[in-house]
Chains A and B, each alone.
Chain A
Amino acid sequence: MERKTQIHAVDGKQEIRITREFDLPLTLLFKAYEEAALIEQWMGTTVIKLDNKRHGSYQFETTDPVGNKHPFSGTIHAFNPNHSIIRTFEMENSSFGPQLEFLEFEAIDEDRSRLSMHVLYRSVEVRDEILQLPFAQGINMAHNRLQKIFNR
């Protein structure tokens, strides 16, 4: 019973690795990161800006069930179709600061593909805080929880 999504977080390091195998051809997996309309669907967010290229950037905004808006954004350092994306990611409402993300896309066979994310945080403490946030389900609930924590 191998799990589809694996999180590799070595204790005492300021990085994590996330890997997932998809029942999708490589081109379709990459397209999910390429087209704004598709990103909006699977991330449940609003794409305000998406400039997928080197020196480009993105700006998304998620509205939680209570109606609070949660903007997140980043700059894009590399965008190589069907291969890799290097970008930063920052939740603007939080005190975590930006994180650096290396995304690698590869084909397993004609119908399946793999995404490997290598995420680096500013410090071990920030990484552990983010890992330990009681994320229950989905980005909306996570944002709710975050909001509560920050409003304390």
Chain B
Amino acid sequence: MNLRRDVFQAIADPTRRAILLLVASQSMTAGAIAANFDTARPTVSKHLQILTECELLEQEQNGREIVYHFNAKKMKAVADFIEPFRNLWEDRFNKLEAVMKKYKSSKK
């Protein structure tokens, strides 16, 4: 596997997933991203640093500010890799849920 060691850890965190969703819709400065969260600014900066290190976000210097862009290519590499495996479990668990709902109503 040529994925960076921490990509999966990066997307495992709910705040970082929220940041990715946010930046995916629109490139933003660190300040604008932080304004969307109750979390302290240094904490958001740390999340941005992790996302940048594993190349899910890309930085661009724009005057005095840094603008963050979403790296769709990298995200796709992660999704492609894990997605079929996840889908297998999703299908299996959906079946379980359906079977048990039917079972429940048959017992009433």
Contact = CB atoms under 8 A, between A and B. Distances in A.
Interface of A: 3-12, 18, 20, 22-24, 28-29, 31-32, 38, 41-44, 115, 128, 131-139, 142
A28 B3 contact: no
Contacts of A42: 92, 95-96, 98-100
Interface in B63-103: 81-82, 84-101, 103
B91 A137 contact: yes
Interface of A is mostly: mixed
B93 A24 contact: no
A43 B92 contact: yes
A24 B100 contact: yes
Nearest to A40: B99
B84 A135 contact: yes
Nearest to A37: B103
Given A24-B97, A135-B85, 15 more contacts: A4-B93, A4-B94, A5-B89, A5-B90, A7-B82, A7-B86, A11-B3, A11-B8, A20-B93, A22-B100, A38-B100, A43-B92, A134-B84, A138-B91, A142-B88
Nearest to B4: A11
A10 B93 contact: no
A19 to B, nearest CB: 10
Across the A-B interface, give the 6 residue pairs with the lowest CB-CB distance, nearest first.
A135-B88, A42-B96, A5-B90, A42-B99, A42-B95, A41-B99
A71 to B, nearest CB: 18
Nearest to B14: A2
Contacts of B85: 7, 131-133, 135
Contacts of B53: none
